[in-house]
Amino acid sequence: MLEEFKDKKILILGFGREGQDNFLFLRRLFPKKTLGVADRLKIRGRWRKVKNAEFHCGESYLTSLKDYKVIIKSPGIPFKIITPFLTKKQIVTTQTEIFLKNCPGQVVGVTGTKGKSTTATLIHEILKKGGVKSQLVGNIGRPSLSLLFQAKPQSVYVYELSSHQLYNLKKSPQIAVLLNIYPEHLDYYRSFSEYVMTKANITKYQTKKDYLVFNSRDPLVSKIARQSKAKKIPVQGKYYNLDKQAARRVGEIFKISPQIISKAIAEFKFLPHRLEFVGKFRGVEFYNDSLSTIPQTTMEALDHLGDRVHTLILGGYDRGLDFKKLGQRINKSKIKTLILFPNTGQRILAQVKSRSIKHFFVSNMKKAIEIAYQQTAKGKICLLSPASPSFGLFRDYEERGNLFKKFVKMLK
């Protein structure tokens, strides 16, 4: 395994969860080899004491790239920022690519701008209930590389793949699930076209023996599917229904009975921060959809919950997304109150023409929930579905969603 790297200097670029897994994998593979580690942040804790390691930390960490033949890049580091530091003779690879090239078992890769975590988890549950020994890896599960030591031909891995993990990939999984493509992460990529091309890597290297489960209603996904060599299995559906249909088709590929698949779907609960039902307090139902970081998913959430949505909490970090269609959807709804965070709150409001909707600007979650309790009628729904990333006011979507749940229960 990785014999071609044995005599080459290796740098692990990025030392978060995946980078640390890369280090442990390589240390076990090459016990005496000195490994390089580069990260903008300082190395902390037990990692500072490891032997046979060269650490390159701080703002100038990328200057170390020139000293290594092989670079294993973490997903969070954009390729565009390392390009000026690379030479043509260097090899840049990733954990995902190494895993796919060396895994003797079967990989179900799941991607999409939205829905991939839910779909991957549901596929994993269906496979388990169907007697398939499945492991959940990638974004939603464990880092994958250390699992290679136990991997067998009969092993099955459900791999949630972000666009960052798919970037520059030269190997596709045997079963690919492609859910949707919307504008997102445009600060990471050079263009939306590059983002779309990156998503296409999930099927680009598939063969006629492989499978592609794809959303036939998404024009960009359908275009990618037409160019794929794999056996094509189209699915349709809105929001979580799409996730369920895609998971069902994967279960069928593994010849799991319809009864077992249906039972697994019926027993499946939404993941945290994905249209998560928080509870009913003072007669109001609260839903946490903090992972909704683009306008399309907020519109899907409104379609899913229907006309009982009375209060909608929106807004966040501004990536320059277009909120025109979201404004039109809000205008057609029965929503009576908008609670808006900076910076996109103002831009979203500019697209809402209905004069019957009240609006409130807030800068913290506690104030947002206080207003929600004051304004939302009994028997109705208060929905947090921001249509924007969380950065700025919150560390990430998880903190935003957790604060929503905390204050909903605290102020009840």
Which of 172-181, 216-225, 265-274 is the least confident region? Answer: 265-274
Average pLDDT of the residues of the chain = 95
Residues 179, 35, single domain; the answer is no
Residues 239, 381, single domain; the answer is no
Residues 305, 175, single domain; the answer is no
Residues 126, 261, single domain; the answer is yes
Containing H/E element for 126? helix 116-129
As a whole number of Å, the CA-based R_g of the chain is 23
pLDDT given at position 238? 82
For the record, the structure tokens of 274 come out as 């994905």
The 3-class secondary structure across 26-87, one letter per residue, is HHHHCCCCCEEEEECCCCCHHHHHCCCEEEEECCCHHHHHHHCCEEEECCCCCHHHHHHHCC
Q: Is residue 237 part of a domain?
A: yes
Please report, for the domain that includes residue 27, its CATH number. Answer: 3.40.50.720
Please report, for the domain that includes residue 111, its CATH number. Answer: 3.40.1190.10
The string of pLDDT tens digits covering residues 188-203 is: 888 999 999 999 999 9
251 has a pLDDT exceeding 80: yes
Side chain identity, residue 322: D
Overall number of domains in the chain = 3
Residues 254, 313, single domain; the answer is no
What's the pLDDT band for 10 if we cut at 50, 70, 90?
very high
Query: To 10 degrees, the CA torsion angle through 163, 348, 385, 341?
Result: 100
For the record, the structure tokens of 208 come out as 């006629």
* Pick from 67, 63, 72: nearest CA to 40: 63
pLDDT given at position 397? 95
pTM (predicted TM-score): 0.92
239 has a pLDDT exceeding 80: no
Give the whole-angstrom CA distance, residue 162 versus residue 153: 25
The string of pLDDT tens digits covering residues 12-32 is: 999 999 999 999 999 999 999
What's the pLDDT band for 408 if we cut at 50, 70, 90?
very high
Residues 115, 222, single domain; the answer is yes
Choice between 184 and 74, residue whose per-residue pLDDT is larger: 74
* Pick from 195, 156, 178, 154: nearest CA to 230: 178
pLDDT given at position 61? 96
What's the pLDDT band for 142 if we cut at 50, 70, 90?
confident
Apex 172 CA angle, 166 and 178, nearest 5: 70
Residues 203, 316, single domain; the answer is no
pLDDT given at position 262? 98
The string of pLDDT tens digits covering residues 163-189 is: 999 999 999 999 999 999 998 877 788
Average pLDDT (98-108) is 97
Residues 137, 196, single domain; the answer is yes
Q: Is residue 212 part of a domain?
A: yes
pLDDT given at position 310? 98
Average pLDDT (345-350) is 97
1 has a pLDDT exceeding 80: no
pLDDT given at position 283? 98
129 has a pLDDT exceeding 80: yes
Residues 122, 255, single domain; the answer is yes
Percent of all residues in the chain with a pLDDT value above 70, rounded to a whole number:
100
Choice between 139 and 239, residue whose per-residue pLDDT is larger: 139
Percent of all residues in the chain with a pLDDT value above 90, rounded to a whole number:
90
The residues that bridge with 339 in the sheet, in sequence order, are 313, 360
Residues 122, 205, single domain; the answer is yes
pLDDT given at position 370? 98
Q: Is residue 129 part of a domain?
A: yes
pLDDT given at position 36? 97
Burial (Cβ within 10 Å: 0-12, 13-18, ≥19) of residue 65: buried
pLDDT given at position 373? 98
pLDDT given at position 380? 98
Q: Is residue 3 part of a domain?
A: no
361 has a pLDDT exceeding 90: yes
For the record, the structure tokens of 365 come out as 């979650």
Domain that holds residue 303: 276-410
